[in-house]
Chain A
């Protein structure tokens, strides 16, 4: 089964998204912040990561930067709250698969995730 890692500081979001993708036969891991995500990524190799930009201790961008520095090229879809051009340009240079903006159209999220996981809806 394809593996998805969801990183978001809101537990509502993690649980809802986990439920959603599990129903679609995806194996889901969750992390409540950048630090937890990094420690999970030391052991696991998810096929795709949904990474929230705005998080407490270690922001989404910092997490991304750290991963790329470590040489981890895991596919990442950034989840942003506001369209922030600065964030976008920085993130582009670090290499992301795509972005979605909250509030998001769930069917669009589903489409992009399933596509990256090589799955048909």
Chain B
């Protein structure tokens, strides 16, 4: 008697612990292990609904080899009598009301049904269910439902003592089956949520790209420039990462990408005649152009997603020696993102033709950058850029 009591206690404790497990695969594996080791089932397995195949597949199992159904080996289509019993309303109500199904109960039912000739169909159906259970050496089935959808079906072989399961064990198993349904459902929700988040992220990037293209619509020079600056910036960041001198997390790279795309967005606030002027600019005109980093930052300030990239946009014209704009930041005060874009931006300006001068060669530009390392540019960034140029990777 005492042993039986301890056994029940053990099952209770196990079930309490299992409620905390959210990963459905892990939960099911533990349940199977429990059923085989503690409840002494010869074998147990779980059929899981697979939406891609629109059928149930025996996915996880445990127990004696030879009896245990190999994972991934067997499937049950939706028209399988055993599945129908749990999914079709009429059968479910008649035969699976208790929430579990025991083969001996079915046999009893058939004996009862055979008395009535008109119940021939029912008898045939029940026989077909018994046959399915027999094929897999299954004594008892316990379903997992979520809102009337059969998500999983637990199949149990007889106990090693050749006995069946008593009422308490069956109730306990039914409780576990509900846990499984919850875990499966939650896991599905989390998956759906992740997909939604990813969709939003893609939408965000696409919107940013659209925004970036608006600058190019206004200023012919800027077209291609933005792309190149972004490309150079990403290459430098990778080089910096490789050098091991800085640790650049994935988020930084994402933000750098966005900052690169949007670094000149402030130019939209600059009058076209100044932006596209071919002659030399007056001091006032130059001042207006110098506003574009700050203006860009203002535009992006309204959106929380742009908080980090904003730093790259606002300060991409600062100088290491503090003589830049708009804030006159010096040395390490300049955010790394901005320091990277600064070099990329200057390099692209040097290597493209202007109305007032021809483009410099890559080598000439490299020399300029090295000359200005520590003066205009952050030395680490300048070094990395020069390296890339030497390697011919830019």
Contact = CB atoms under 8 A, between A and B. Distances in A.
Chain B interface secondary structure, helix, strand, loop or mixed? loop
A1 interface: no
B127 to A, nearest CB: 13
Interface residues of B, number: 20
A102 B72 CA distance: 7
B66 A103 contact: no
A107 interface: yes
A18 B65 CA distance: 11
B78 to A, nearest CB: 11
A10 B58 CA distance: 15
Interface in B351-394: none
A100 B65 CA distance: 22
Most buried by A among B57, B65, B76: B65
A81 B75 CA distance: 12
A87 interface: no
Contacts of A103: 53, 57-58, 72-75
A67 B208 CA distance: 61
Contact of B73 (A11, A16, A107, A110): A16
B66 A102 contact: no
A106 interface: yes
B68 interface: yes
B69 interface: yes
Given A103-B75, A105-B75, A16 B135 contact: no
Given A15-B65, A103-B58, A20 B135 contact: yes
A105 B66 contact: no
Nearest to B76: A105
A110 B75 contact: no
A13 interface: yes
Contact of B66 (A10, A15, A104, A110): A15
A12 B70 contact: yes
Nearest to B71: A12
A16 B67 contact: yes
B70 A13 contact: yes
A20 B70 CA distance: 12
A84 B57 CA distance: 20
Contacts of A110: 135
Contacts of B70: 10, 12-13, 16
A19 interface: yes
Given A107-B135, A110-B135, A12 B74 contact: no
B316 to A, nearest CB: 51
Nearest to B59: A103
Given A20-B135, A110-B135, A104 B74 contact: yes
Interface string A77-121: 000010000000000000000000011111100100000000000
Nearest to A22: B66
A104 B135 contact: no
Contacts of B73: 12-13, 16, 102-104
The 5 residue pairs across chains A and B that have the minimum distance between CB atoms:
A12-B70, A103-B75, A15-B66, A15-B65, A19-B66
20 contacts: A10-B70, A11-B65, A12-B68, A13-B70, A16-B65, A16-B68, A18-B66, A19-B66, A19-B67, A20-B135, A81-B72, A102-B73, A103-B53, A103-B72, A103-B74, A104-B73, A105-B75, A105-B77, A106-B135, A110-B135
